[in-house]
Chain A
Amino acid sequence: MTAPPPVRVEKALALMPELEALAPLRALLVSIARPDEATMWSSSGPYLTLGKRGVHPDELRRRMPQAFHRISEHLQALFKGYVEALESQQRGDAPGVVAALLRAGRLEEEVGRHTQARTWYEVALGVAEALQDRRPEVEALRALGYACVALGDYAAGARHFQRSLALAEAEFDQAGATAASEGLGDVALAQGQWGGAQAWYSRGLRLAEAAGDAPRAGRLERQLGVLARKQADLAAAGEFLRKARERFEAAGVADEMAGVLNEQGRLDAQLGRYTAASAAYREALAWAQRAVRDARLELSIRLNLAELDLEAGKLLEAESELRRAEQVAIAGHVILRLAQVYTLMGRLRGAQGDETGFVFFEQAIELARAVEHSVATEAQVYHAYGLFRSRLGQRDEARAYLERARELFDSLGEAVERERIEAELSALSA
C-alpha cells in the first residue's frame, strides 16, 4: 500500500489557530516541509512556494520531542535568568539584577522574540534607573534601543540611544558612548537620514579608534561604507570597506568578515563589476561557514548573490541561488526573510515574461502580513509586484499595486521610496 500524500503547508497552516503557544509548532511544521521530487519536476515545480510544500503528520509527531526540548531549554534559561536576578536582589547587588534581566532579554532576541525582549529590558531599565552607577542604565537603554529598532519603532529606538549616549558621556563611559553613537547611526540609516547617520557613525569611529576598540571600529567603518554606497560615493565606500576588512581579517573575526564581504559584493555590483561581486559573495559564504551558524547572514549573502545573477541576466544561476536561499530560510527558521526570497523569484519570472510568476508576489504578501507583520516588507513586495505587472503590460493592475506601495511607504514616513514610486507612477501614466 502506498503511503498517503503529504499535506500541503497552506492547508496545514489554515488548520492552526494564530496562538502564541503554537508558534514553536508552526516553526517546526514549516522547517520540516519539503517539496516532493515528483512535484519539483512537474510543470508547477518552477512556482513552488512554501505553501505548496508538503508535510507528513507522522514526521511532525516524531519531531515534536525536539521542539519540546528546545522550548524547555529556552524556558529553563529564562527562568534561570530570573532566579539569578532574584538572587542578586537578595544580595543587594542591583547591577547584578540588571545584568541577569538583560541576559534573559538577549535570549529572547536570539529566538526572534523582540517584543518579549523589550519587556525584559524595560524591567531592567526600571531597576537601573535607581542606581548611582549609571553604566547598567546605559547598557539597558542600548539594549532597549536595538529591540525597538528590530520592531521597526525607530523613534523610540532613537530616544533610548540618545539617553544612553548622554548618560555615557556624563559618566566618561567611552565604550558606552561609542555603542550609543553606533545605535543612533543605525536608526538614522534605517530611516534614510544619511547626514545624521554619517555624523553618528563618524563620531563613533573616532571614539572607537581612541579606545583601541578594533572590532567596533571595523563595524563602524563597514556601516560608513554602506552609507557611502547608498549616497553613491563609491570610492569612499570602497575605502571604508577595505579598512574594515583589514581589521576583521587581522582579528580573524569570521562573521564580521562575511558581513563586510557581503557589503563589498553589493558595492562591486553597483559598480557593475559582476565577477568581483560574485567573488566577494562567494568568499563571504566561505567565511560564514567558519563562523557560528547564522542563517540570517547566510540568507542575506545568498539573496544578494541571486540578485546579482538576476541583474546580470543569469537567470538559471539566480533561480538556483534563490532555491538555496529558500531552503536556508525554511530550515534555519528565518521565515521572516522568505518574503524577500519570493519577491526576487517573482522578479525573475517577470524577467522571463512569465505571468504565472504572480504567485510568488501573492505568497510574499501573505508572509509579510501574517508572519513578518512588516509594513515595510509588504510595501516592498507591492512595489516589485507593480513593476512585474507593468513589465507584462498590465497597466491598471501595475498602477493599483504601485499606489498601494506608495500608501504603505507613506504610513512609514519613507520619503525616498515614496519618491521612487511616484516617478514610476508618472512614467506609467505617460
Chain B
Amino acid sequence: MEPLVPSPGAGKEALATLRILVVGGEGGSAGGLVQNLRQWADDGRLEIDTAPDLPRAVRQLAGQRWDVVLAVLGDRPDDDLPWWVDTLRGANGSPRLIAVAQAPSMGLVLRAEKLGLLDVLSLPLRRDELVRALERLRSVVSETAVPLPLVEPHAVGPYALVGQSPAMLDVYKLLARVAGSSATVLVQGESGTGKEVVARAIHINGPHASGAFVAVNCAAIPENLLESELFGHEKGAFTGAVTRKIGRFEQAGRGTLFLDEIADMSLALQAKILRAVQEREIERVGGGETIPVDVRLIAATNRDLKEAIKQARFREDLYYRLAVVTIRLPTLGERGDDLVLLTAYFVRHFAERYGKRIRAISDRALDLLRAHAWVGNVRELRNVIERAVIVATDETLRAEHLPDELRGEETTLADRPQGGLLTLAEAEARHIARVLAHTNGQIGAAAEILGIHRNTLTRKMKEYGL
C-alpha cells in the first residue's frame, strides 16, 4: 500500500511527522472522515488531532503548531472559505489549509486557488487525493537554497536605484544627461516602476540639490484640498483653514517640486499649475499677494497623457511645458534578471530593518517570483519581500514565506484530476475567472474582452459557479 506521506528522494533526510488538525470532521456530512484519517495515519508519519469547529480550532492553533489544517466546509463553502483563510492568517507556524467540501464547484476551486489553499478535496475523502495534496506540501524539503547575489545599489536618499538590465541602463544614461540642467522632466511609467526614486535621483544630482525635495501625490489628495496643498492658504480662507498654510510650491523653494500622478488633476487646477510654471509665481488661496517661486519641477504619471489630451482631460499646453525631457521607466517584466537583484536588495534591506539574518533564497521561491505577473512592479515586489522577511524564521527565504496569492499560482488546483491537462470546460472557467479578475468583476467589460454577449457570460458564470 502506498504510504500516506511520500518517501523522500535518495539522500534526503527522513521526513518529520506532519501534524494535521481536522476541523469539523466528525458527524454530519463528514461522517467517518476522522476515523479514516486515523487509519491512514498508521504508518506513523501523520499526527491527527481534531477540533469541532473553527472557533475551537483557532484556540488550538493559538496553543500549538500545526502543519496542515483540514477544514470540512459547511453548507455555504463559498462564504466560509475566506473566513477560514482570514482567521488562520498569522496562526502559529503558518499552517497550510486543505478544504474539504461536498461536491466542490469550479468556482470554489478557483477561489481556493486565488486564496492560496493547498488543496480542495471532495467528500467522501479519497486517500490518493490526500496523498497528492501532502506530496505538494512535502516538496518544500526539496527546495535548494541559492545564495543572494551581491547588489551595488545607487543610493538615492532613503531609496536606491537597483538594476543592470539594458532597459535600466538607458534610464541611467538619460538621467545623467538631464540631472545637471534645471529642465522640467516628465517621468512616465506604470505604477510601482520607481518614478519617485528617479525624480529624487535627478534632484540629488542636479543644481537644486541643496534645496528641499517636496513630493505631492495629486491623486491621493481630495480635489477640494489639492489647490491649498499646492499653493497654501491664508487663515480663514475657507471652512477648515484654521491656520495660515505654506503650500508645497513655497516649501520647495530653491529645491525640487515633484508632482506625482499629475494626470489626476482637474482642468481648473492644471491651468493654475501652468500659470505657476510659466510665470514662476503663485498666490495663496484667499490671499491677494503674488509670491515668486524658484523650483525645479518634475512631474510623473502612469497614464498616457497624449491620450488624455485627445479626450480633453489634460491640457496640451501644460503637457509641453512639463515634457521638456521625458523619461520612460520599464516595467519589472521588461527588466529581466533585475528581478533577482531587486529581490536580493530588498531581502537585505528588510532583514536589517527587522533584525533577521537571511543569506539565501530557495530556488522554488525564486521560481514563484519569476513566474508572477507583477502588476504593481517594483512596489509590489518590495511589499512581497517585506512580508516574506517578517515571517521568515531561518537563513533562507522559502516559498512558504511568500504570500498565499503567489503560492496559489503554483498550485493550479484544477489541473490535477487529469494529470495536468484541463477539460475544455475547466479551461473556459479558468479563463473567464481570469478576465473577471482583470475587469474587477465588471461583467460588461469582461464580456467585451471575451467577445461574447453579457447574457452568455452571466449564464456561464452561473454554470461554473463563478
Contacts and interface: CB of A to CB of B under 8 A. Distances in A.
Contacts of B220: 43-44, 46-47, 52, 356, 359
B278 interface: no
B195 A43 contact: yes
A44 B261 contact: yes
A359 B221 contact: yes
A62 interface: yes
B242 A397 contact: yes
Interface string A37-69: 111111111110001100010110010000000
Contact of B59 (A42, A46, A283): A283
A59 B445 CA distance: 10
A404 B442 contact: no
A411 B261 CA distance: 41
Given A278-B90, A289-B83, A362-B222, A400 B242 contact: yes
A243 B217 CA distance: 51
A169 to B, nearest CB: 39
Interface in B139-195: 190-192, 195
Interface string A274-315: 010011001101110110000000000000000000000000
A62 B457 CA distance: 14
A47 B217 contact: yes
A107 B219 CA distance: 41
Contacts of B217: 43-44, 47, 356
Contact of B62 (A279, A289, A317): A279
A31 interface: no
B102 interface: no
B444 A58 contact: yes
A42 B190 CA distance: 8
A401 B443 CA distance: 45
Contacts of B302: 38, 42
A10 interface: yes
A47 B215 CA distance: 14
B83 to A, nearest CB: 4
Give the interface size bracket for B toward A. 35 or more
A394 B390 CA distance: 33
A57 to B, nearest CB: 10
Given A38-B375, A44-B219, A282 B261 contact: no
A324 interface: yes
A286 B55 contact: yes
Contact of A279 (B58, B440, B442): B58
Interface stretch (B7-15, B379-387, B406-414): B379-387
Give the interface size bracket for A toward B. 35 or more
Given A44-B264, A289-B54, A282 B376 contact: no
A401 B379 contact: no
A192 to B, nearest CB: 27
Contacts of A39: 191, 219
Given A41-B192, A316-B390, A324-B86, A283 B261 contact: no
B122 interface: no
A425 B172 CA distance: 50
Contacts of B440: 34, 36-37
Contacts of A401: 242
B428 interface: no
Contacts of A283: 55, 58-59, 62
Contacts of B443: 59, 62
A41 B90 contact: no
Contact of B191 (A41, A289, A363): A41
B388 to A, nearest CB: 11
Contacts of B448: 3
23 contacts: A3-B444, A10-B222, A34-B440, A38-B302, A41-B191, A41-B379, A42-B191, A42-B192, A43-B192, A44-B220, A44-B260, A47-B217, A278-B90, A279-B62, A282-B62, A282-B90, A282-B91, A285-B83, A286-B58, A289-B83, A289-B87, A290-B53, A290-B55
Interface of B: 53-55, 57-59, 62, 80, 83, 86-87, 90-91, 190-192, 195-196, 217-223, 225, 242-243, 245, 260-261, 264, 302, 375-377, 379-380, 386-387, 390, 438-445, 448
Given A257-B55, A285-B83, 10 more contacts: A34-B440, A37-B438, A44-B260, A45-B376, A282-B90, A289-B87, A356-B217, A359-B225, A363-B222, A401-B242
List the 7 shortest-distance A-B pairs measured between CB atoms, nearest first: A41-B376, A47-B220, A400-B242, A44-B219, A42-B191, A279-B62, A44-B220
